[in-house]
């Protein structure tokens, strides 16, 4: 089954959310856990317990695991494997972007089923050119995986690059979206190639219709984005939207039951996406 079909089915069956696993030190401390690989492991295990049957998509942020070295990567490996075994779509947030054989190696690390870090989808950065990401696109197509490309991000520094206008008058973000729309053209109900568009982008001169793939939408909750913002920004493309929440859920830990309740509460705010 194609990634787009698997994603669409999961969002319909399990609710519209992507839930992040972002075990930064302050959050570990608020859960009463040490800032080390043991604390990381206990945090991740609780998230698996809470999200394995309550979220359609779970997005571990790789950097917060990498900081603990090989022990942290081992926790990430078992977390990804446990979530996928439970039927969750795992979107690994790695934001890789390089050229040639290096990009091919990144793609193998995360999208090849033979890799211990194999996920259902990854995030990538297009700022060496969207074409430089071709190894990831190729491997995703081969293994029915997904790729989410940064387009309009929530951070205030993003517009410096993303809103820059090229020789043909299109913004860089528009170039990214248009390229992916071409790659998604023959896929239904969703293509495998999505974009990241923050819920806090405000009014921008970029067309979001016609992508044909999913929109991963961070910036909701703690960063100020709301369900109303999502409706205003995406309009007719709402069914393709996957709201991404992290802190608004994780602050309810360390109780797995409380985390599940927070997922349910957040999902209720976005029920219109699958109505």
Catalytic positions are 95
Contacts (Cβ under 8 Å, ≥6 apart) of 50: 253, 256, 257, 259, 260, 263
CB 83 within 8 A of CB 53: no
Q: How far apart are CA 159 and CA 164, in angstroms?
A: 7
Could you give the CA distance from residue 187 to residue 137 in angstroms, rounded to a whole number? 14
The two tokens of residue 228 are 């109303």
The bridge status of strand 89-96 relative to strand 57-60 is parallel
């Amino acid at each position: 089954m194609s990634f787009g079909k698997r994603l669409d089915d999961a969002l319909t069956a399990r609710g519209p959310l992507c839930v992040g696993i972002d075990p930064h030190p302050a959050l570990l401390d608020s859960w009463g856990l040490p800032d080390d690989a043991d604390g990381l492991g206990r945090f991740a295990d609780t998230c698996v317990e809470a999200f394995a049957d309550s979220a359609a998509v779970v997005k571990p942020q790789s950097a917060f695991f990498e900081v603990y070295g090989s022990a942290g990567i081992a926790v990430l490996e078992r977390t990804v494997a446990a979530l996928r075994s439970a039927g969750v779509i795992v979107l690994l947030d790695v934001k890789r972007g390089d050229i040639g054989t290096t990009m091919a190696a990144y793609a193998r690390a995360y999208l090849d089923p033979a890799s211990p870090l194999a996920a259902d989808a990854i995030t990538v950065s297009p700022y060496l050119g969207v074409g430089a990401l071709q190894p990831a696109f190729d491997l995703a197509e081969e293994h029915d995986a997904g790729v989410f490309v940064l387009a309009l991000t929530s951070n205030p520094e993003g517009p410096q690059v993303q809103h820059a206008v090229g020789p043909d008058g299109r913004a860089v973000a528009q170039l990214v979206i248009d390229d992916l729309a071409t790659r998604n053209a023959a896929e239904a109900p969703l293509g495998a190639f999505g974009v990241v568009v923050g819920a806090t982008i405000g009014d921008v001169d970029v067309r979001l219709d016609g992508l044909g793939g999913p929109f991963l939408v961070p910036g909701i909750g703690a960063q100020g984005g709301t369900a109303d913002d999502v409706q205003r920004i995406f309009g007719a493309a709402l069914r393709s939207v996957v709201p991404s929440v992290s802190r608004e859920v994780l602050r309810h830990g360390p109780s797995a039951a409380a985390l599940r309740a927070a997922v349910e509460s957040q999902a209720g705010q976005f029920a219109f996406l699958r109505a």
